[in-house]
Chain A
Amino acid sequence: MNVTLARLLLILSSAVAIAAATAAPPRLSPPDDLYKAGTLSPVMPAPEIALSGSDGKPFSMARFRGKVVLLAFGFSNCGEVCPITLATLAAARRKLGAEAADVQVAYVTVDPERDTAAQMRKFLGSFDPTFVGGVGTRAQLEAVYGSYGISVNKITNPDGSYTLGHSSSIYMIDRSGGLRAVMPYGHPADDFVHDLKILLRS
């Protein structure tokens, strides 16, 4: 073997040996008690809501105290984001089994002109009959949007009809009414199940 080639091989093997010597064991997974959702710290009370429920009862955070609440915002004429969110939340409740009895999905309209209590009841019932909708006047709803940082943008179509762009995250509220976590849109049902189990046992 050529002397130069032998030296080159020696250098290369040394470089690989150095790299291998510095290699550490693979990183461990993050602790399982970490939420999949974004978490708020310190935990503060979820802002109170005073609306009418799609089930004919008052829609307020106080009413749901003792349950873990998944609070979301949307509208019944939504063809994209809202049905996916609601289907995901319904799937999460199904996966929880008996524990789902302590989970309440609360859905506040962003479309006070079209969403009546009856309309919301029909819309939400197609996903899960336990879901409760919140409706009210524009002034009542805008107070709620402000306290949760919800944005709503009206987009008018050429034919005069309209659709709405809106915040699509899901707020996770613990049994004592503390706003613990916020799940951005797009997470699968399993991520909700993961976080709900932590909330249900905390």
Chain B
Amino acid sequence: MSRRTWILCAPLLGALLAGLGWAGFAPIEVGSREQLFEIPQGTYARRRAGDLVEILPDTIRLTLGLNDVLLIHNLDDVPQTFGPTIMMPGQSFRLPFERAASYQFICTAHASGQLTIEVEPEPTTPWARIQWRAREWWENHKK
């Protein structure tokens, strides 16, 4: 490699390594451990009218230690069953998770009536942190 090429590439290589070093070693900071979802007002009425409205994803991904609390607000005019309970209009349900696993729940806010919650382990290794950050970046940019 010539001296000129090296001078051009070294800063890029340094930046890449610094970026990977940060992504792998810096602790992941999140604003809140709660992942909020809302069931909007009129959801039940729209569904009764034949509108296959999808207000929640079929699968919700949570990560232990980062965003491991599901928070559902029922803003609809009727009770909604979510997972283990029934939520009255205006009521919220806050469900913490402490074990990484796949959870299947009944959910009347879904057209299918089913919701899957994938709870993943906390990314504690550099490689896991890099993967987590990459996936978050991808999820945020595809919206």
- Residues in chain A within 8 A of chain B (CB atoms): 4, 7, 11-12, 14-16, 18-20, 22-24, 26-27, 30, 34-36, 38-42, 44, 147-149, 151, 167, 169, 171, 182-185
User: Contacts A30-B33, A40-B91 given: A19-B21 contact, CB under 8 Å?
Assistant: yes
List of B residues within 8 angstroms of A169 by Cβ: 83-85
Stretch in B11-19, B37-45, B52-60, B133-141 with 4+ CB within 8 Å of A: B11-19
User: Contacts A15-B17, A23-B25, A149-B85 given: A40-B6 contact, CB under 8 Å?
Assistant: no
Is A38 a contact of B10 with CB atoms below 8 Å? no
Is B93 a contact of A38 with CB atoms below 8 Å? yes
User: Contacts A16-B21, A20-B25, A27-B65 given: A167-B84 contact, CB under 8 Å?
Assistant: yes
Could you name 19 residue pairs across A and B whose Cβ atoms are closer than 8 Å?
A11-B13, A15-B20, A19-B18, A20-B25, A22-B26, A24-B29, A30-B96, A34-B96, A35-B96, A38-B84, A38-B85, A38-B96, A41-B93, A41-B94, A42-B91, A148-B86, A149-B81, A149-B85, A171-B85
Instruction: Count B-side interface residues using an 8 Å CB cutoff.
Output: 35
Interface flag for B35 (CB, 8 Å): no
From A11, A15, A24, A171, B27 is in contact (CB under 8 Å) with A24
Is B86 a contact of A44 with CB atoms below 8 Å? no
Give the CA-CA distance A147 to B94 in the complex, in Å: 20
Is B86 a contact of A149 with CB atoms below 8 Å? yes
Is A11 a contact of B17 with CB atoms below 8 Å? yes
List of B residues within 8 angstroms of A44 by Cβ: 88, 91
Interface flag for B24 (CB, 8 Å): yes
List of A residues within 8 angstroms of B91 by Cβ: 40-42, 44
15 extra interface residue pairs, beta carbon distance < 8 Å, beyond A22-B25, A30-B96: A4-B1, A4-B6, A14-B17, A15-B17, A19-B18, A27-B65, A34-B96, A40-B91, A40-B92, A40-B93, A41-B94, A42-B91, A44-B91, A148-B85, A169-B83
List of A residues within 8 angstroms of B83 by Cβ: 38, 169, 184
Interface flag for B22 (CB, 8 Å): yes
Give the CA-CA distance A164 to B79 in the complex, in Å: 25
Is B94 a contact of A38 with CB atoms below 8 Å? yes
Per-residue CB contact flags for chain B residues 94-127 toward chain A (1 = under 8 Å, else 0) read 1110100001001000000000000000000000
Is A22 a contact of B22 with CB atoms below 8 Å? yes
List of A residues within 8 angstroms of B81 by Cβ: 149
Q: In the complex, what's the smallest C-beta–C-beta distance from B39 to chain A, in angstroms?
A: 14
List of A residues within 8 angstroms of B103 by Cβ: 184
